[in-house]
Amino acid sequence: MNVAEAIAEILRREGTEYLFCFPTTPIMDACAEIGIRPIVVRQERVAGNMADGYSRQTNGKRVGVVSVQQGAGAENSFSGITQAFTDSSAMLVIPGNWSSDYASLPPNFDTVKNFEHISKWADRITSKDGLLPRMRRAYTLLRNGRLRPVILELPLDVASQEISDFSYAPVVQYCSQADPSEVKKAVNMLTGAKHPLIWAGQGCLYAEASKELVELAELVGARVTTSLMGKSAIDESGPLAIGAASFSKNALVVKALAEADVIFAIGASLARDFTAAHIPTDDLDGNPKRFIHSNVEVSDVNLYFSSESVLIGDAKLVLRQMITYIREKGIQRSEQHVGALKESVALQKRAWRDSFEELISSDDEPINFYRVIGDFMKTFDPDETVVSHEPGVTRDVLVPHYIATKPRSYLGWGHSTQLGFSLGACLGVKLAVPEKMVVNFMGEAAIGMVMGDLETAVREKIPIITIIYHNSLMNNYSRIIPKAAKLFQNDELSGNYAAVAKALGAFAERIEKPAEIIPAFNRAIEAVKRGEPVLLDIICGNQPFISYGGEDLQSLRDMQQKGGYGS
């Protein structure tokens, strides 16, 4: 057995089903030989996106593996790895190299040095004797703490070295609980709060803590919002779930963030970037908001917000500790209190949704994107579907309006918001959950970045549905780059995406009338059942009505008239 074969065997023991790759890679043959299916992409970035989607969908239980060649392949893979790094998704990346002697010498691209800042750990396997400790360390890091990529470069001369004493046991996940005195503090803060709010992040999905999240919310009488990446950690149709707190958001989230005197962030970084909802500093009485922060690692705590109680541990175990403490002390809120809160949430949800009804049922031509989402929710079963978005209108409308019901039924992403991510990510998702309908919504700029990989979906028979929000524009960029847009039309994009998709072998349709949307969705579902990837190119208008501040449609219209958002 040589080093490449030993790695393939370790990957197999760690549960690897697929190798997301582009040749030449040092482990492709060894993987193929033992039944790990190599999936060849058309651009290495997409290999990373596929591994990322696959890892996230399995909550990091099955880690996506990527392999590419040195230089060109590694350089092309950079953005796929950075997206996984910023969004905290695990993947093992095994780039090759011609020779261990020259790997770090110019003019060669030094993958290890260059990838150091976009990984949890980047290293080179320098000899057969260094393999096993590195693989054990790689999987220990990939399964524990904050999940992020690990890079292990494998030079070809090392790949062919013979190993005589091979032994490897898969690495497990080790979960820990929080300091009990912090649990007590956190519970007292929540049960004593006037308007407690739970902010659930992706850590709740990784820890599979959705049940505990609901249980704690019921006990302390808290509304629950999620971060963009935490969307679907709680059933958004549930009575205390108010929707995701992203850049775009609904009125319930804005109200809850304004009212909250105590915010409990669980499995969340509380990172402040432009995709995160703004959290006002004070509560309605003018007192500074108080924070409780729970994360699997200490690195984000006390960063953007200073926290009075810090619970380091696995989200599920920490929530269970809190639930147990509350029950033991009998300090839960009364049923009456929680019932009244649920009633007010239900009323607000209805009012906000009703205010958008006109757009959701719009017969406008070009098609209104809200109509697309409305018809989508009428046609697809949310329990059996996984949905994802792209930067732009697809994200900003889907996040507040699409109601995710099951954990990981929505792939919310985007600390670094790379246009094009959702195609590869959803291909990875589909491989992880082949029984689900997997649908990604993309604008023209997004599909343009990765169009070639529709062919990957066709060739590898990975039937996802890609829906293009085709407004021939980068929505609202006439405001962001007004001079370039006016003088050179730099905000305009063109293309016949259905024609390209058909030419690449996908089932594709162009839709121009609102009445055609649902029949096209049904034909798409049938095509997926036949194993065909689908692209629906839906010709839409520009979308001025995006709820960045949580407003209802009327206030968005007023704002538009005054020259505020959109036009």
Ligand X SMILES: Cc1ncc(C[n+]2csc(CCOP(=O)(O)OP(=O)(O)O)c2C)c(N)n1
What is the smallest separation between the CB atom of 478 and ligand X, expressed in angstroms?
11
Give yes or no for residue 268 binding ligand X (CB under 6 A).
Answer: no
CB-based closest residue to ligand X: 443
235 binds Mg ion, rule: CB under 5 A: no
Count of residues making up the chain: 567
Which among 201-209, 318-326, 350-358, 469-477 is the span making contact with ligand X, rule CB under 6 A?
469-477
Of the two residues 148 and 389, which places its CB atom closer to ligand X in the complex?
389
The binding track of 158-197 with respect to ligand X, each residue x by CB under 6 A or -, is ----------------------------------------
Q: Are strands 121-124 and 150-155 parallel, antiparallel or unpaired?
A: parallel
CA 335/CA 420 separation, integer angstroms: 46
Q: How far apart are CA 112 and CA 97, in angstroms?
A: 11
131's contact among ligand X, Mg ion, none, with CB below 5 to 8 A by partner kind, is none
Q: What does the radius of gyration of the chain's CA atoms come to, in whole angstroms?
A: 24
Q: How far is CA 455 from the centre of its chain?
A: 23
77, 45 Cβ separation under 8 angstroms: yes
* 336/326 Cα distance (integer angstroms): 17
Crossing angle of helices 44-57 and 72-87, rounded to 10°: 30
Pick the binder of ligand X from 234, 474, 504, 506 (CB under 6 A).
474
* Binding segment toward ligand X, per CB under 6 A, in 115-123, 124-132, 163-171, 415-423: 415-423
**Sequence letter at residue 314:** D
**Contact partners, residue 508, CB within 8 Å, separation at least 6:** 497, 498, 499, 501, 502, 534, 535, 536, 537
Rounded to 5 degrees, what angle do the CA atoms 492, 493, 494 make?
130
Rule CB under 6 A: say whether 409 interacts with ligand X.
no
> By CB under 6 A, is residue 80 in contact with ligand X?
no
443 lies in the site for ligand X, by CB under 6 A: yes
Q: State the DSSP H helix or E strand holding residue 254, giving kind and residue range, or none if neither.
A: helix 251-259
462-481 footprint of Mg ion as x/- string (CB under 5 A): ---------x----------
Angle 524-527-530 from CA coordinates, rounded to 5° = 155
- The least CB distance from residue 397 to ligand X, in Å, is 9
Q: How many CB atoms lie within 10 A of CB 402?
A: 23
* Residue 417 binds ligand X (CB under 6 A): yes
478 binds, among Mg ion, ligand X, none (CB under 5 to 8 A by kind): none
C-alpha distances in Å from residue 435, one per residue of 24, 228, 424, 467: 32, 25, 18, 19
The smaller minimum CB distance to ligand X, of residues 227 and 309, is found at: 227
As measured in angstroms, the least distance from the Cβ of 230 to ligand X is 20
- Looking at the Cβ atoms of 74 and 540, the one nearer to Mg ion is 540
Query: Minimal distance in Å, beta carbon 159 to ligand X?
Result: 33
- Largest Cα span, the chain: 75
Distance CA 74, CA 115 (A): 9
Q: Which residues contact 271 (CB under 8 A, 6 or more apart)?
A: 300, 303, 304, 415
Contact criterion met (CB below 8 Å) for 193 and 337: no
Q: Quick check: 418 binds ligand X (CB under 6 A)?
A: yes
Considering only residues 479 to 508 of the shown chain, the ones binding ligand X according to CB under 6 A are 493
**Span from 259-267, 347-355, 357-365, 437-445 in contact with Mg ion (CB under 5 A):** 437-445
Indicate whether 443 belongs to the interface with Mg ion (CB under 5 A). Answer: yes
Whether 412 and 231 have beta carbons less than 8 Å apart is answered as: yes
> Could you tell me the two tokens for 212?
């505990």
Range in contact with ligand X (rule: CB under 6 A) among 12-20, 161-169, 238-246, 411-419? 411-419
Closer residue to ligand X (CB): 202 or 476: 476
Stretch touching ligand X by CB under 6 A, among 15-23, 160-168, 227-235, 392-400: 392-400
Give the nearest distance from C-beta 20 to ligand X in angstroms. 20
- Cβ count near 35 (within 10 Å): 10
* Minimum CB distance to ligand X, residue 474 (Å): 4
Residue 89: both structure tokens together: 């998704």
Q: Which stretch binds ligand X (CB under 6 A): 252-260, 319-327, 438-446, 545-553?
A: 438-446
Q: Does residue number 412 form part of the binding site for ligand X (CB under 6 A)?
A: no
| Complete DSSP assignment for 459-497 | HTT---EEEEEE-SB-TTHHHHSHHHHHHH-TTB----H
> 270 vs 447, which CB is nearer to Mg ion?
447
Residue 267 site contact among Mg ion, ligand X, none (CB < 5 to 8 Å, cut-off depends on kind): none
Q: Which of 262, 419, 427, 553 binds ligand X (CB under 6 A)?
A: 419
Nearer to ligand X, 112 or 450 (CB): 450
| Residue 130: partners with Cβ closer than 8 Å, 6 or more residues away | none
Sign of the CA dihedral 419, 421, 424, 426? Answer: negative
Of 19 and 419, the one with the shorter C-beta distance to ligand X is 419
* 469 scored as a contact of ligand X (CB under 6 A): yes
Among Mg ion, ligand X, none, residue 417 binds (CB under 5-8 Å by kind): ligand X
Which range touches Mg ion (CB under 5 A), out of 5-13, 176-184, 252-260, 440-448? Answer: 440-448
Chain position carrying tokens 């009456």: 336
Is residue 373 within the footprint of ligand X (CB under 6 A)?
A: no
Closest CA to 517 of 360, 387, 389: 360
Contact positions toward Mg ion, by CB under 5 A? 443-444, 471
Contact positions toward ligand X, by CB under 6 A? 391-394, 417-419, 443-446, 469, 471, 473-475, 493
